[in-house]
Amino acid sequence: MAKLPRTGVAYRSLDEREVTLAEIVASLGLKPLSKKAEREIRNRLGFALAMWDEPHTGLQIKDVAGSLEAHAKRLDQIAPLGTITRSGFVRERDIAVGGQLIQILAPNPVIGSVEAAHEYLRNFCNRAGIIASSCRAAAASLQSRKGQDGKSRYVWYDEFTAVLLDICKRNKIEPTVGIHPISGEPVGTLAKIASAFERVLPPTMRSRKPATMVKRLQRSLSRLAQRVEAASGRATPRGERHTKGT
């Protein structure tokens, strides 16, 4: 189901209650991070973690649109209250209801007279009509909008993986990841680094199983490669593209 897209910019801190970022770097035998490098990593991870969408917490577009339409119907029911302020064919009951309301409104210190009560009620009903119409327009706009499907939930892991790749590059490490064919355990330099760095993720965001972490990494690596390829294609002018000779 389509979810209502989030707006604004969010940031989420690392969970360093068990181990700090500097301790992880040291435990892996990586080069110590400068203050600038550590700040950059924290910022990238902080913005990436804020992209995570917890299961079942995203508002469904159809639910929001349904609420707007329900509000519009309730506001439509206010219209008969203003019948007494309008000319033309009206029902006797609506006149009686409006008359009783005018009698209560008129003595109110905020209003002060019967004439003012008529004007107050007319304005209120007109505004209710405008709001009802706006609710329907908002619902129609939402329903025509493309929301976020469930696949967007793990996009944040792409940036997490990109940070790990930069760390590998900084330390001249060839990033590899896979599953051992016999033991079924994760193997590879990237898997080892990812396993350590996941310890500073909030518990609910960590991979439940080693194999899950490997699949996450492999999918993120694939998406990152596709982005690089797409960006490269956009950056190369059509007239400058070359083909390999046979």
pLDDT, one tens digit per residue, over 201-229 is 999 899 999 999 999 999 999 999 998 88
Q: Is the pLDDT of residue 91 over 90?
A: no
> Which tens digits make up the pLDDT trace of 53-65?
554 445 677 888 8
Tell me what the pLDDT averaged over the chain comes to.
83
Please state, for a pLDDT cut of 70, what percent of the chain lies above it: 81
Res 145 pLDDT > 70: no
Distance CA(37)–CA(7), nearest Å, equals 28
| Torsion region of 7: left, alpha or beta (phi above 0 gives left; psi -120 to 50 gives alpha) | beta
Q: Which residue has the higher pLDDT, 111 or 27?
A: 27
Taking the CA atoms of residue 151, residue 198, residue 194 and residue 46 in that order, the dihedral angle to the nearest 10 degrees is: 70
Q: What is the pLDDT of residue 25?
A: 96
pLDDT classification of 9: cutoffs 50, 70, 90: low
Please give the Cα distance from 153 to 49 (Å, whole number).
Answer: 11
More confident residue, 17 or 82: 17
d(CA 222, CA 225): 5
pLDDT at 23: 96
The winner for highest mean pLDDT among 7-21, 113-127, 182-196 is 182-196
**pLDDT beyond 50 at 180:** yes
pLDDT higher than 70, residue 243: no
Domain boundaries, the chain: 21-53+148-232, 61-143
Task: Mark 200-212 as b/e (b = at least 16 C-beta within 10 Å).
Answer: bbeeebebeeeee
Global confidence as pTM: 0.57
Q: What is the pLDDT of residue 245?
A: 44
pLDDT of residue 150: 45
Residue scoring higher pLDDT (145 or 94): 94
* pLDDT value for 117: 86
Read off the pLDDT of residues 16-34 as tens digits, 9 standing for 90 and up. 999 999 999 999 999 999 9
Distance of CA 123 to the CA centre of its chain: 38
pLDDT at residue 235 in the model = 55
Q: Which residue has the higher pLDDT, 97 or 44?
A: 44
The yes-or-no verdict on residue 85 having pLDDT over 80 is no
Q: Is the pLDDT of residue 78 over 90?
A: no
